[in-house]
Structure 1
């Protein structure tokens, strides 16, 4: 059955049950669109896309995931003895949670950015930089540099607008009388129940 014509009765709002200090759920529209939300402390994640029903399974798909969650702003030679990776963002809370790995010439170093968004490495050639935001651990962006750029030692990046967006691919939940049952896109552990609102 197509996403435009889901089985009647599956549409509705479903809230995650029995997970402390966490608000999460799915909103399934009758036209086959869905919205997902997740809030835990100061962290908010979201997703959207199309859903369809196949028997007693509800299948969720978002648009294709972008290849990178950071954008390279600068790579240049700077007057510093080491390698600097700088993250920029208007929200200072996001600056000091980026895990940075630099690789080149058989060498590898790993650091976490400081509260100013900077990571200062010992001198080495840079052939690749990997960036991972601590609160979106499933997202790792890898930037590879051509031989002409490998002598540079200052690299600045910014977050892409979709940093906190989830991209679901054939994510399945089982439709039961109690609600939707199955895994959670972000949480590990037991089978979760998403109870239909007003039920």
Structure 2
């Protein structure tokens, strides 16, 4: 597990003046659990800073916070621009097969290219790993109606690209934008005694005052 010290430049330096806050909730908080470390600052000026390391995921956020009906609400400012995949070329493949690749092969780091696929007549999204040459294995009798690369670790809006009939070679470009920035919109933290409780990535994160 990584230490909260990872968040030192992000979370600790700005807090000195904000710790003695007019709001009883303002101050510095931290949370540590198996494979997870997190930090949160609620400033007396109504601004917050947040950081989380959880397995392969690292995220941060900054913006405004407020109290309402006994809970803390976080809103990221400025608004997050989500990552996305955009098509840079789409041409006939010549052999009737569907191929998908990235214009920058290392854009996903160590992760292999996995695709979110929709088949004709099937509303479900299927996740398919491309072959080494980019060929997309398509089950017999199925026709790919829409496709887009799947972003590993981080959430991204699902924006499918319609696939033309016949074999195609489609090349996507990955725009990282604000990947790794938490898109809080009145994100709720419960107040339980001296702890702030955030449900995030299917985990309950309990922030306690001070830096562990």
TM-score by length of 2: 0.67
Which of 64, 72, 86 is the matching residue for 1:50? 64
Residue aligned with 2:150, SS:
strand
Give the match for residue 43 of structure 2: 29
How far residue 53 of structure 1 moved from its aligned partner, in angstroms, is 1.3
Structure 2 unaligned residues grouped into runs of 5+ = 1-20
Partner of 2:128: 111
Q: CA deviation at 1:133?
A: 2.3
Which of the numbers 148, 151, 172 marks the counterpart of 1:133?
151
Change over 3 Å in CA distance of 1:53–1:44 after alignment to 2: same
**How many pairs align?**
185
- Structure 1 equivalent of residue 136 of structure 2: 120
Contact 1:76 1:155 in 2 (8 A): yes
For 1:95 and 1:198, how far apart are their aligned partners in 2? 33
Q: What SS does the corresponding residue of 1:141 show, helix, strand or coil?
A: coil
Helix, strand or coil at the partner of 2:185: coil
Aligned residue number for residue 196 of structure 1: 209
Question: What is the CA-CA distance between 1:197 and the residue it aligns to?
Answer: 1.6
Give how far 1:105 is off.
Answer: 3.8
Distance change (3 Å), C-alpha of 1:77 and 1:35: farther
* 1:61 and 2:79 correspond: no
Q: Please list every run of at least 4 consecutive aligned residues from structure 1 whose deviation after the TM superposition is greater than 6 angstroms.
A: none
Question: How do 1:78-97 residues align onto structure 2 when only pairs under 5 Å count?
Answer: 78-87=93-102, 88=104, 90-91=106-107, 93-96=109-112
- Picking from 2, 5, 8, the partner of 2:23 is 8
Across the aligned residues of Structure 1 and Structure 2, the Cα RMSD in angstroms comes to: 3.4
TM-score (norm. length: structure 1): 0.71
Could you tell me which of 187, 199, 207 is aligned with 1:171?
187
Q: Name the SS for the 1:173 alignment partner.
A: strand
